[in-house]
Amino acid sequence: MTARAATRPVGTVTRGTTNPNRLRRMDRWIAATHGAELRRAADPVAVDLGYGAAPWTAVELLGRLRTVAPRTRVVGVEIEPVRVQRAEPYAREGLVFRRGGFEIPVRGPITLIRAANVLRQYDESKVARAWELMCGRLTPADPAVGSHGGLLVEGTCDEIGRRHVWIALGPEGPRTVTFAAHFGSLERPSDFAARLPKVLIHRNVPGEPLHAFLRDFDHAWASAAPLASYGARQRWTQAVRYVSANWPVTDGPVRWRQGEVTVSWEALAPRG
């Protein structure tokens, strides 16, 4: 292998669709659940992988993470050289842009990698290798200081960020799946099916745990319909409470009131 081949970015160019505030729900969850890990790190580094044709998401990630961990640095990574060039004017203290792919061209362990709307554009067969590469760059867990290690957040959302589904992975692999929605635009929980990450998008079929979960969530949503008169937030919270009786929901009412629910990966992982 030549030196040039050894340093070639891993991955392919994606469509690059992006909009301001598209990832606000994902960022809000990261700040709430991973803020302590960022504060604990000696040099907290977050990577916005595949930020797209414009650098809005990387700029926003820096601002949101610094509200909970002021020392955080963000590196925006894109495989398309022209996109990196266009982003350079937005660089500032704590924010730089680099050309790269799943290998992540950043020295040292990384506290956070956010890969939003990237793997959805790949074949499902490529997901495991991409996860392996990215998880291999995360800060390892250190139980002696209470650290769970770095976090990879990989998922998909609609064009304006009203519906998200993301998978959280640590150095050891996948941990949880989170569903997040704008209350006013959700007709039923199974609407999330259109925004599933690549590893789950073909698993919403009978016999798969994901299909059973969305079916049960729809039933819980229907059962909670009487609370709709008090608002969609109350209906959502009650529906999650119902569904948590049979599924390993890992968060609580504080997150539910934000339009989120997080479920253990093992419960939804594809069969076969």
Any idea what the CATH number is for the domain that residue 7 is in? Answer: 3.40.50
Q: What is the pTM of this model?
A: 0.95
What three-state secondary structure class fits 50? coil
Ordered DSSP codes for 91-133: -BTTEEEEE--TT---SS-BSEEEEESSGGGS-GGGHHHHHHH
- Other CB atoms within a 10 A radius of the CB of residue 29 amount to 21
Per-residue pLDDT of the chain (272 residues; tens, 9 = 90+): 333 344 789 999 888 888 899 999 999 999 999 999 999 999 999 999 999 999 999 999 999 999 999 999 999 999 999 999 999 999 999 999 999 999 999 999 999 999 999 999 899 999 999 999 999 999 999 999 889 999 999 999 999 999 999 999 999 999 999 999 999 889 999 999 999 999 999 999 999 999 999 999 999 999 999 999 999 999 999 999 999 999 999 999 999 999 999 999 999 999 97
Measured CA to CA, the distance from residue 228 to residue 215 in angstroms comes to 20
Measured CA to CA, the distance from residue 13 to residue 207 in angstroms comes to 34
Measured CA to CA, the distance from residue 130 to residue 115 in angstroms comes to 10
Q: Is residue 106 part of a domain?
A: yes
Q: Is residue 16 part of a domain?
A: yes
Number of domains in the chain: 1
Its domain, for residue 79, covers 3-181+248-265
pLDDT attached to residue 16: 80
What three-state secondary structure class fits 157? strand
pLDDT attached to residue 1: 31
Q: Is residue 207 part of a domain?
A: no
Tokens of 171: 């150095």
User: Do 191 and 163 form a contact (C-beta atoms < 8 A)?
Assistant: yes
Q: Is residue 237 part of a domain?
A: no
Q: Is residue 270 part of a domain?
A: no
Q: Is residue 122 part of a domain?
A: yes
Q: Is residue 254 part of a domain?
A: yes
Q: Is residue 272 part of a domain?
A: no
